[in-house]
A and B are shown apart, each in its own frame.
Chain A
Amino acid sequence: MTATIRPEKILRELDELWVSLGKQENGETSTGVLRACAMTLLVATEGTHDEADVGETLASLMRDHPSRAIVLRLLDGAAPDLKARVLAQCWMPFGSRQQICCEQIEIGMTEPSLADVPPVLWSLTAPDLPVAMWCRSRRLLALPRFAPLVGLASKIIIDSAGVADLGDQLGLINTIRIQGPRVGDLAWTRLTRWRESIAQIFDNPVYLARLSALDHVRVGWEGEHVPMSALYLSAWINHCLGRNVPASFHREGSCERARVQSVALTGDNLNVSITVGQDRAMELHAGVRDAHSVFPSLTDYQLLREELSILGRDAIYESVLALVPQSAQSLETPL
C-alpha cells in the first residue's frame, strides 16, 4: 500500500502558507503574524457531517491551547485513498496589532488507507511537543488498524456521554490505557463543577465533621440510560472517602444526552444536595443553608480546554476509573 499524500509536500504547503500570511500582514499598520504552537492536537472523526462543529471548536481552542491541529477524517470508500489540505486558524487579540495564527491540517482517509496514516503523522507532528488526540468516533477506536494512531498520542480524549453500554465503554477505555496513552473523558470533565461544589460544602468544618456519618449517595440523572458520569460521581465519592458508600441511581427526566441532574449525600445529621434545573440553575442545599448558582451547559471547546490543560497523569480520575465497576453494582444490570 502506498500513501497518496507526502508529508514533505504538506510541510512545504504550511511554510508557503506562513509566508503568504506574513506578506498579507506586512502593511504599514501591521506587526506581522505570530505563529503559535504548544502541542499537536489530533482530531479523529468520521464522515463530513461535523466539519463545521469541529472547525468552530478548534478555532476557539487555539486561543487557549495553540496547536498544530491535524484532523483525521474517516471517509466512505473501499479503495485506499488519502488526501490532505492545510489551512490556518488566525485571530487578532483585542487591542493587539498582531495576528496570531495556528496551523491546521485536514487528512481525509478511507478505512483501507488507515495503515498508511501513521508514517504521515510521524512527520507532521510538531517536534518536541506533546501530542493529544480528541477522538470523536468510538468505531475508529475499535478498529485494529487505528491502534498505531492511538499510540502516537500521550493522551486520548473521548466522550462517554450518550454511550448506552457502559461495560463496553469501560473495556474500551482500558484497552486504550493498555496501549500507553492516558485517557481523558469529557463525561468526567463535565463533573468538575459538581465535584467542586461538593468540595466547597465540606470546606466548612461543621459539615466536614459530619462526613463520617455519610451512609448513602443518591444520584439523579436524566436521559434514556444511566450516564457514565453518574457512576463516575459515585465512584469519586468512594475514592475520596476511602470506603464504599452505598449509592442509588434514579431517573429524573428525559433528554437527548444522558446527564447527572442531582446528587444527595445523606447520613445521620447530614443532608447535602445539589440539584440542577432545566434552565441549568443550580440549587445547593446544606443543612439550613441554601445557595444558588448556574451550571451552564458546557461546549466541547470548554471541556477540551480543561482536559488539554492536564496532559500529565490525572491520578484522581485513574483511581475513580478503577472504582466504577464497584459503584455500578447497585444498578439494575451491573456492568
Chain B
Amino acid sequence: MAAANPFQDQARFQRRVKPCALVIFGANGDLTKRKLIPALYQLALERRLPPGFAVIGNSRTHISDDEFREKMRQSVQKYLEDSRFEEEVWRDFASGLSYVSGDLNDPVCYQTIASRLGELDRERQFGGNVLFYLSTQPSHYGAAIGGLGAAGLANGGGWRRLVVEKPFGHDIASSRMLHDTLHKAFREDQVYRIDHYLGKETVQNILAFRFGNGIFEPLWNRRYISHIQITAAESIGVEGRGAYYQEAGALRDMIQNHLLQIMATIAMEPPAVFESAAVRDERAKLLRSIRVMKADDVATHAVSGQYGPANVGGQELAGFRGEPGVDPEAQTDTYAAVTFFVDNWRWAGVPFYIRSGKRMPKRVTDIAIQFNSAPHALFTGDTHDSAPWARPNLLILRVQPEEGISLRFLSKHPGSGMRLRPVSMDFKYGSSFGVRSPSAYETLLVDALMGDATLYTRQDMVEASWQVVQPILDFWAGRKFDFPNYAAGSWGPKESDDMLALRGHAWRTP
C-alpha cells in the first residue's frame, strides 16, 4: 500500500485530486465547452487539481494545441459561473491542455493518444493515471471503447478509468449491449456512468438529511407518509435538440435515469457505511423493488403528453411538432407522469408520483413528501379559507432552482378561536451556507479522478431502471396518441391529474 501523505489536514483542506491526466473524446462538443472545461478550471482555481494535471482533447476537427487552448479559454470565460477568471491560473491550467485530432474508428488515433500520454507523463509525472471521458454521441461509444482496448490504453502503469455519459441504451436490450461493449475493454470497477443529477448538492443532501438526522427516519415509511411526488419541470422546449429529443422523450430522457435515481435516494434503506459500494447497493436494491407494471396497468399508471402551441405572456410558442427538426406527426412524449409502487415493507402501498415535462410554467425540480393527516380531526370547526385537515404536513426537498428544504405544518392563527393556518419552516442553501456550491460536474469529475463511484450509477441500477420503464415504453409504442394534449406553459395534460385523483391525491403546484 502506498504511503500516506503526512501533510493532510482533512478539517481544512478541500478534497484534492492526486496526479493524473484526463482524455476527453468529443472535445469539440457542447458538453466539453459548457461544462467539463469550466468545471476543471474552477477546480484549478480552487487548487484542487494536482500540479502537472494534463488534459488531452480529441475530436475529428484538425486544430493545433494553441487553437484548442484558445477555444477552451473562450468557453471558460463565457460559461464560468460564480467565479472570476484569473489569467495566472488559466496560464498554468492551459499549459496542461493539448489536442489530438483523429477519427474514433481509426486505430492511429489511439496510438497517437498513447504516445502523447507517454510524453506528458514523462514531463508532468502523473504516474500513468488516466481518466477517459466519452463526451461523444452514444453511437461512437463502441468505436472508442474498442479503440482504447485494442491500443492497450484500458490498462497501464497507473489506474485507468472511463466515464460514460447517458443515455445508457434506449431500452433494456441496448443497455445490455452497451454493457457488453464496455466490458470488452474495461472492468466494471473502471466504468463510471455519469448521471449529473446525482452530483447536485441538493441530491447529495438528501442522504445527509435522511441519515444524518435522527428525527425524520422514524417517519420515513408507509405508516406516516401518504405519498411522494417528484417533479422535474422545464420551462424551455427542445431548444434545437428536436431531432434527438423526438427519439428519446421525457420518460427515457428524464424518468428512466435522473428521476428514478432521485427516487432511489429518497426511498433506499440506510447503508451500513457511507462507502461507494454500500450506498450503490442500497440504491440498486430499491430500484429492483419497484413494481414492474403489467401491460394492463400502464393505462392507469402512466400518462404521456406532448405540448401544443400557446401564447404565453404575449409570446407565441410553437408546439413540439412545430419545432425545427421534429416530425409533424411525432408521437414523442414531452411530458410523462408515472405512478410507481415499491414492493417492500417500508413502502408497500405508498404511491410515488413522478412527472417530467418540457414547456411547463417554470423550471423546477423538487421532491414533496406528503405526510398523513392527523388521525383524528380535532379542529374540524375551523372556518379558515380551506380546511387545514385537507392539507397534511408536507416536506419539500427543493433540488433547483432555490435549493433547500421546507416543512409545512399547521399553526394557530393569532386571536380568539382555534383557527389553523399552514406555515412553512424554511432552510435555504443560499442563506445558511454562503459559500458557492460546486457544480454537479465539478463534484463528479473530482469523484471520478479520485476513484469514488458513490454518485455514479452501476449496470445493475441501469438495468433495474429500464426494467420498470420498459412496459410503459412498449405500451406507448403500440398506441397512437391524440397529441398535442397540453398547452405550452401549462402543468401538463388533464389525464395526469386524473391519474392522481384515482387515489384521492392531486399534484402540487411547485
A positions within 8 Å CB-CB of B: 34, 36, 38, 63-64, 66, 93-96, 98, 100, 192-193, 195-206, 208-209, 211, 240-242, 281, 284, 286, 289, 291-294, 305-306, 310, 314-316
Contacts and interface: CB of A to CB of B under 8 A. Distances in A.
A293 B434 contact: no
Interface of B: 2-3, 5-9, 11-14, 16, 18-19, 47, 50-52, 86, 88-89, 91-92, 124-125, 127, 401-402, 426, 428, 430-435
Given A202-B5, A203-B18, 7 more contacts: A34-B426, A34-B428, A36-B431, A204-B52, A241-B6, A289-B125, A291-B92
B2 A205 contact: yes
Contacts of A200: 16, 47, 50-51
B448 to A, nearest CB: 17
B132 to A, nearest CB: 21
Contacts of A197: 47
Given A63-B434, A64-B434, A95-B401, A199 B9 contact: yes
A42 B326 CA distance: 63
Most buried by A among B2, B16, B92, B431: B431
B51 A286 contact: yes
Given A64-B434, A197-B47, A284-B51, A203 B125 contact: no
Contacts of B5: 199, 202-203, 208
A203 B432 CA distance: 33
Contact of A196 (B2, B14, B434): B14
A240 B88 CA distance: 30
A38 B431 CA distance: 11
Query: Interface majority SS on B: helix, strand, loop or mixed?
Result: loop
In order of increasing CB-CB distance, the 10 nearest A-B pairs are A63-B434, A199-B7, A64-B434, A291-B51, A240-B6, A93-B430, A292-B92, A100-B431, A203-B18, A204-B19
A293 B7 contact: no
Contacts of B434: 63-64, 305
B47 A293 contact: yes
A203 B16 contact: yes
A316 B11 CA distance: 9
Contact of A211 (B2, B6, B91, B431): B6
Nearest to A102: B431
B428 A192 contact: no
B12 A306 contact: yes
Nearest to A286: B51
A286 B7 CA distance: 16
A199 B13 contact: yes
Contacts of A306: 12
B91 A66 contact: no
28 contacts: A38-B432, A64-B433, A93-B428, A95-B401, A95-B402, A98-B426, A98-B428, A100-B428, A192-B12, A196-B9, A196-B13, A201-B51, A203-B5, A204-B127, A205-B3, A205-B19, A206-B125, A208-B2, A208-B3, A240-B6, A281-B88, A284-B51, A289-B124, A291-B52, A293-B92, A294-B89, A305-B434, A310-B11
B402 A314 contact: no
A197 B88 CA distance: 16
B18 A64 contact: no
Contacts of B92: 291-293
Contacts of A292: 88-89, 91-92
B9 A195 contact: yes
Contacts of B3: 205, 208-209
Contacts of B431: 34, 36, 63, 66, 93, 100
Contacts of A203: 5, 16, 18-19, 50
A289 B12 CA distance: 26
Contacts of B11: 310, 314-316
A292 B2 CA distance: 28
A100 B14 CA distance: 28
